[in-house]
Structure 1
Amino acid sequence: MTRFDGLPEFVAARQQALMRTAYLLTGDGDLAEDLVQSALVKVAARWGRVAAAGDPEAYVRKILYHEHISWWRRRGRHRDRPTADPPEPEGRPDFADGMVSAILLRQALGRLAPRQRAVIVLRFYEDRSEAETAALLGCSVGTVKSQTHRALSRLRTLEPGLADLLTDSETEPTGVAR
């Protein structure tokens, strides 16, 4: 038995899910790949203990979120990102409306603070409970609740066109593609 037993199988099975989450956190495909790779390198060094603990995906995801926040802190908190307002829809709605909403949501997520973005991704994209989100981020359930409230308020302010996707209660936004 080597110290990497099961790691290649884990990576093969969970890489796409980790990439989707990393993409939602970073908003960039190349950065998402780098983030997943960085997290997996850190996990590889501890793989024997991580696998023995029984839930390697939770450990990898925790590293993923913390690594993203570390990157954000090193780059600086304020980055100007040019954004273009999408054209107003004309005529009857069609499948493009969903794409516009998805683009608007991605842009708005990119303008949230990393912790707020992580909370939104964990709670609504990955459908995690408040307790699971708190455990993954290493904070209290109260912090998760307040960060969720602030993030949803900020999303509503940043992109009023998404109001129909974001419910008035602090429950799952409707229409968010998984």
Structure 2
Amino acid sequence: MTVETGRDAAFSDFVRSRSRRLGDLAWLITGNLADAEDAVQDALAGLYRRWAKLPSGDEFEAYVHRTLVNACLGVIRRRPRALSVADPALLASAPVGADPSVAVAASDQVWRLCQQLAPDQRAAVVLRFYGDLSYAEIATALGCREATARSHVNRALKRLRSRIEEGK
């Protein structure tokens, strides 16, 4: 039986309380469960190595987001390149109505289209609309200026809108 040090116990508590949320964010950024798991593992390994030196408060949260985004982008960059052909059936969507299955299908279509965005744009959209981060926090997580974070989100939304309109 091993005795956890204070550092190890604090890190274990962090992992227990946050791994689900980190996994959800990673899945949304990478679009793939196996890649998301790899990214979370990479991020947690990096956090553990620097655990004693990490900042506190808002700076800690920003550091965690930055580490996770970097890990996700690293996993995406290591993927083998493949030509993706869009399924025309995914682009043909009915307007969202009272039927919940229509809303689910529309949501699924949007997330599939998000997978076609550039990794930085996808990360910015996920952090903005799923993570509910401000543009300043997104900029910190992506390691860019706030204006660049806004640009990533705006360009991604413009591309998503045009793809959805193409399908109508």
TM-score by length of 1: 0.78
Could you tell me which residue of structure 2 aligns to residue 79 of structure 1? 82
In structure 1, runs of 5+ residues without a counterpart are 164-178
How far off its partner does 1:137 sit? 1.2
Is residue 108 of structure 2 the alignment partner of residue 106 of structure 1? no
Q: Deviations over 1:54-107 (max 9, x none)?
A: 14443222111112222333336x5323443247559x7511111101210111
Is residue 159 of structure 2 the alignment partner of residue 115 of structure 1? no
How far off its partner does 1:161 sit? 7.7
Could you tell me which residue of structure 2 aligns to residue 7 of structure 1? 11
Instruction: State the distance in 1 between where 2:68 and 2:83 align.
Output: 24
Which of the two has greater helix per residue? Answer: 2
Paired residue for 2:146, among 126, 135, 141? 141
In structure 2, runs of 5+ residues without a counterpart are none
Local SS of the residue matching 2:8:
coil
Contact 2:39 2:71 in 1 (8 A): yes
Instruction: State the distance in 1 between where 2:61 and 2:84 align.
Output: 32
Letter in 2 for 1:12: R
Local SS of the residue matching 1:159:
helix
The structure whose RCO (Cα within 8 Å, separation 6+) is larger is: 2
Instruction: State the distance in 2 between where 1:5 and 1:24 align.
Output: 29
Paired residue for 2:70, among 66, 70, 81? 66
- Matched-pair identity in %: 34
How far off its partner does 1:129 sit? 1.0
Letter in 1 for 2:74: S
CA 1:162–1:45: 2 relative to 1, 3 Å: farther
RMSD: 2.4
Instruction: State the distance in 2 between where 1:147 and 1:79 align.
Output: 23
How far off its partner does 1:128 sit? 1.0
Letter in 2 for 1:154: R
Could you tell me which residue of structure 2 aligns to residue 166 of structure 1? none
Instruction: State the distance in 2 between where 1:162 and 1:12 align.
Output: 42
CA 1:36–1:75: 2 relative to 1, 3 Å: same
Instruction: State the distance in 1 between where 2:9 and 2:157 align.
Output: 41
Instruction: State the distance in 2 between where 1:126 and 1:63 align.
Output: 15
Instruction: State the distance in 2 between where 1:161 and 1:21 align.
Output: 28
Instruction: State the distance in 2 between where 1:162 and 1:129 align.
Output: 31
How far off its partner does 1:26 sit? 0.9
Letter in 2 for 1:17: R
Letter in 1 for 2:140: A
Local SS of the residue matching 1:6:
helix
Letter in 2 for 1:79: A
Could you tell me which residue of structure 2 aligns to residue 131 of structure 1? 136
Letter in 2 for 1:122: L
